[in-house]
Amino acid sequence: MKISDKIRVAVLFGGRSAEHEVSLQSARNVIQYLDPSRFEIVPIGIDKQGDWFLGNDIFTRSLEQNKVPKSLDNDTWFTPEWVGKSVTTTKDQQALSPSLNKQMFDVVFPVVHGTLCEDGTLQGLLELANLPYVGCGVLSSAIGMDKDISKRLAINAGIPVPAYMTIKADQWRANAAHFAALIKDKLSYPVFVKPANTGSSIGVSKAKDEKALFAAIEDAFRFDTKIVVEKSLNNIHELEVAVLESLEPNTDPIISVVGEIKPKGHEFYSYDAKYTDEHGAELLIPAPITNEIKEKARAAAKELFLLLECEGMARVDLFFDKDTQQIYFNEINTLPGFTKISMYPKLMDASGVSYSELLTHLIQLAIKRYQTKSQLIRSYAG
Ligand SMILES: Nc1ncnc2c1ncn2[C@@H]1O[C@H](COP(=O)(O)OP(=O)(O)O)[C@@H](O)[C@H]1O
Ligand SMILES: [Mg+2]
């Protein structure tokens, strides 16, 4: 990397994910606020089929159409389906030649959410491509995306989670009545039903009886082959804490002030409350809770960030149950919403890290990790 030149940042947006549209809004702000004196931006749109398109034009058209448009064939810059295939066709040669001749960017900022984006798959591709990238690596991305595995690790460390059970699609199809009885008995209604691997409340429902449970489970299985069914906590503060890795070696991560999400006119923080209804939720920063609970929430966030081996950033979502006075781990988001008014950047801003500073910090972390990992031995002759 040429230190004197501007750092070329590939901003990835869109993606083969149910959170495609959300990603465009985040990317719009990231592209707007990246410090132009330090960074040159290379926008890369990933359409819903997984094809990658490069350039400012695709970014503008994506915002206009609220999705990365299916482009003309010769605009395709990369498609994962080429991996393992010969590159003799005109299309492949055209598309691959720029990257073979000259590296087109120095670091990747994945501004994408959900499956095939935030779950370690994209991170794996970037590792194989030998590129520095912002945020969590393969392992913590995959763990963070999986609501079952991340909960298991929290339980293992003694951090409370709401009582839950995991069901695979095959198991449900074979024995639905058995699971319905178990849910009623062990968790009791109401329960939350969630695909194990989505975000933005996609496929998440609250079921108050058996009829609603069956409908909720069928819906959740449209998005994933594994779901979690979870006891509903009915008297909560929904707390969120932003965590940012430090640039200094051997230093604790930066833990933000605590925020609270208050759904308004919605029973829970659903997709509509998040994105469709402008007044669907209030974001309270700082959360109106005692200092003691705030400190407990911040300590839990730090512990979870380190426990799940996160890198770069993560937003840790917790519940404070007013009935039991207990903090519960809900989930961790390794590529949290990144619009300027999203919780993660707002929490960091309230903690003294502005949006532009945050972007610069994350890119510096990505480059630092890449440089450290580049020094590892990859072949060993004994
Ligand atoms: N066990 C629970 N008790 C109470 N509310 C819950 C529970 N689980 C989820 N919710 C509500 O549903 C929302 C979405 O669930 P969450 O697990 O955060 O999924 P997502 O990853 O899609 O954001 C939460 O923000 C919260 O409002
Ligand atoms: Mg959530």
Residue 238 alpha carbon to ligand 1 centre in Å: 9
Nearest CA owner, ligand 1 atom 15: 201
Which of 204, 227, 283 to mutate to test ligand 1, by most ligand atoms within 8 A of the CB atom? 204
User: What pLDDT does 344 receive?
Assistant: 97
* Residue pLDDT, tens place only, 100-140: 446 788 999 999 988 788 899 999 999 998 999 999 999 99
DSSP one-letter string for 231-244 = EPP-SEEEEEEEEE
DSSP one-letter string for 3-23 = TTSPEEEEEEEE-SSTTHHHH
Nearest CA owner, ligand 1 atom 19: 201
User: What pLDDT does 78 receive?
Assistant: 78
* Residue pLDDT, tens place only, 263-279: 999 999 998 888 888 89
**Cα–Cα distance, 190 to 194 (Å, whole number):** 13
Residue 260 pLDDT greater than 50, yes or no = yes
Q: Which ligand is nearest to the CA of 113?
A: 1
Q: What is the mean pLDDT of the chain?
A: 90
User: What pLDDT does 212 receive?
Assistant: 97
Which of 117, 141, 205, 269 to mutate to test ligand 1, by most ligand atoms within 8 A of the CB atom? 269
**For 290-304, b where at least 16 C-beta lie within 10 A, e where not — what string?**
eeebbebbbebbbbb
Confidence of residue 382 (pLDDT cuts 50, 70, 90): low
* Residue pLDDT, tens place only, 192-223: 999 999 878 889 999 999 999 999 999 999 99
**Cα–Cα distance, 7 to 52 (Å, whole number):** 21
User: What pLDDT does 120 receive?
Assistant: 95
Nearest ligand 1 atom to alpha carbon 273: 27
* Residue pLDDT, tens place only, 169-179: 999 999 999 99
Confidence of residue 254 (pLDDT cuts 50, 70, 90): very high
Q: How many CB atoms lie within 10 A of CB 263?
A: 17
Residue 315 alpha carbon to ligand 1 centre in Å: 14
**Cα–Cα distance, 103 to 82 (Å, whole number):** 19
Residue 239 alpha carbon to ligand 2 centre in Å: 10
Nearest ligand 1 atom to alpha carbon 200: 22
Residue 91 pLDDT greater than 80, yes or no = no
For the chain, percent of residues with pLDDT exceeding 70: 92
* Residue pLDDT, tens place only, 332-369: 999 999 988 899 999 999 999 999 999 999 999 999 99
Confidence of residue 97 (pLDDT cuts 50, 70, 90): very low
User: What pLDDT does 74 receive?
Assistant: 57
Residue 230 alpha carbon to ligand 1 centre in Å: 9
Residue 16 alpha carbon to ligand 2 centre in Å: 20
Residue 173 alpha carbon to ligand 2 centre in Å: 27
Single pTM value for the model: 0.92
Residues with CB under 6 A from ligand 1: 162, 192, 194, 198-201, 204, 230-233, 236, 238, 268-269, 317, 330-331
Nearest ligand 1 atom to alpha carbon 234: 4
Q: Let me know how long the chain is.
A: 382
Confidence of residue 87 (pLDDT cuts 50, 70, 90): low
What class is the 145-157+234-370 domain? alpha beta
Q: How many CB atoms lie within 10 A of CB 272?
A: 14
Residue 204 alpha carbon to ligand 1 centre in Å: 8
- The residue among 19 and 156 whose pLDDT is bigger is 156
The structure tokens listed for 49 are: 């089929």
Least confident of 42-51, 70-79, 241-250, 319-328: 70-79
- What architecture does CATH give domain 7-117? 3-Layer(aba) Sandwich (3.40)
Q: What residue ranges do the domains of the chain occupy?
A: 7-117, 145-157+234-370, 164-231
User: What pLDDT does 57 receive?
Assistant: 86
User: What pLDDT does 5 receive?
Assistant: 79
Residue 168 pLDDT greater than 90, yes or no = yes
Which CATH code fits 164-231?
A: 3.30.1490.20
- The residue among 91 and 145 whose pLDDT is bigger is 145
DSSP 75: G
- Strands (E) in the chain, as ranges, are 7-14, 39-46, 52-54, 76-78, 107-110, 164-168, 191-195, 205-207, 226-231, 236-244, 254-263, 281-284, 313-321, 326-333
The stretch 31-60 carries a mean pLDDT of: 92
